Amino acid sequence: MLDVAVAYNRYKFIGFEFLTWLWFTIENDQAYLKKLQEDLASLDLGNRVVLENRQSEAMETVTIKGDDAGLEEGRLALKKGAVVTEMNLLFKFGDQKWQFSLKGESLGVANLKTPDAGPVESRDDLEGAMLEKTYLYDKAMNFVYLIFYDFIKHRISKDWHHQIVPQIRKWIAV
C-alpha cells in the first residue's frame, strides 16, 4: 500500500465526492438509504455544509451554517464546480436522534451528539454508561461507514460515470 500521508493527500477527493453524492442521495433517494439501514427513520442535512472549489487558481470556500440556512448558495457553488468537503448530518433511528459533522478528507466524525445515556452515580453505573455510549457511537460510526462502503462500490463501478454522475449533474443543473 502507498505511504499513508501520500495516500491521504492523493485520494482526499474520494471523501469530497462521497459527501457530494450523499447530499444528492439525501435529497433524491431516501428510500435507498432506508434500504441500507432498515431501522433508519430519516437522514437529513444538519446545520452546516462546507464546499470548496479547487478548479480555479485561488481555492474558494463556501460555508453555509445555521439551523434555518438555505442551501441555494451551496447549490450555486456546486454549479460552479465545487465539491462538499464537510457536512453536518442529522439522523434518526426510531425516535432517537444523532447529529454530527463529517469531514470528507478524513471521514472524521466531529461534534457527535447522541441520545442521552443513563445517569452515573456509582462505578457500576459508570461502566454501564461507557458501554451504552459505545453502543450509541457505534450506531453513528457503523451507519457512516455502511453508506461509505456502498458509495465506494458505486464509485469504482462502471455505473459511476454511466449512470450516477449524469444524475448528479442533472440535479446540480436544476
Partner 1 sequence: MGLLSSSVSITRYKVEGRLPEPIIETVAAGLKKNTLIDVDDETVESAIGWTSVDTPFKPNFEGSSFVVGPHFFFSMRMDKKNISSKIVKKMCTQQMAKKLVESGREYLSREEKKQIKDAVIHALTLRVPATPNVYDLIWKYEDAELWFFSHQKAANEALEILFSKSFKLTLIRLFPFTAAMLTAGLSEAELDSLSFLTPTSFTE
Give contact residues for partner 1 (rule: CB under 8 A): 1-2, 4, 7-8, 10-15, 17-18, 20, 78-81, 83, 103-113, 117, 120, 126-127, 129-131, 133-134, 137, 141, 145, 148-149, 152-153, 155-156, 160-161, 165, 168-169, 172-173
Q: How far is the CB of 130 from partner 1 (least distance, A)?
A: 5
- Cβ distance to partner 1 smaller for residue 10 or 35: 10
Q: How far apart are CA 148 and CA 133, in angstroms?
A: 23
Question: Parallel, antiparallel, or unpaired for β 60-65 and 83-93?
Answer: unpaired
- Cβ distance to partner 1 smaller for residue 10 or 65: 10
Query: How many C-beta atoms surround the C-beta of residue 170 within 10 A?
Result: 11
- Cβ distance to partner 1 smaller for residue 59 or 126: 126
Cβ-count burial 130-152 (b if 16+ within 10 Å, e if not): eeeeeebeebbeebbeebbeebe
What residues have CB less than 8 Å from 97, skipping those under 6 apart? 90, 91, 115
Q: How far apart are CA 166 and CA 127, in angstroms?
A: 50
Q: How far is the CB of 137 from partner 1 (least distance, A)?
A: 7
Q: How far is the CB of 13 from partner 1 (least distance, A)?
A: 4
Q: How far is the CB of 47 from partner 1 (least distance, A)?
A: 13
- Cβ distance to partner 1 smaller for residue 11 or 32: 11
